[in-house]
Amino acid sequence: MHEKLTALSKRLKDEQRDLLLAAAEQNTIPSASTIQRVAMLELNIAAIENTSRTKNDPSGLMSGPAVRRSGTCHLQELHIFVGGHEGH
């Protein structure tokens, strides 16, 4: 199961990266739907990694928002701008 979770996580990370790179190419702010999609992918990636960690660490000591994959934002720091208003 770990291999399947890892493969799913990689596919989601690849899609998220592609969306971010495409957004970076634009000279405008990304659409709300693009920002929401990137955020939703981040949440799903975190859930998959948390599930994988939980299977490897049944005590749960290595899971939770304090333990995140390196190179990305913490869930608490993820800000979504929709309709000109900042949401958390």
Cβ atoms 88, 77 nearer than 8 A:
no
Average pLDDT of every residue of the chain: 77
Judged against a pLDDT cut of 50, whether residue 25 lies above it is answered with: yes
Q: Are 79 and 38 in contact, with CB atoms under 8 Å apart?
A: no
Distances (CA, A) of 12 to 6, 34, 43, 46, 60: 10, 14, 10, 10, 24
User: Hey, is 67 helix, strand or coil?
Assistant: coil
pLDDT digits (tens, 9 = 90+) for 66-81: 444 444 444 444 444 4
Rounded to two decimals, the pTM is 0.63
Q: Are 65 and 77 in contact (CB under 8 A)?
A: no
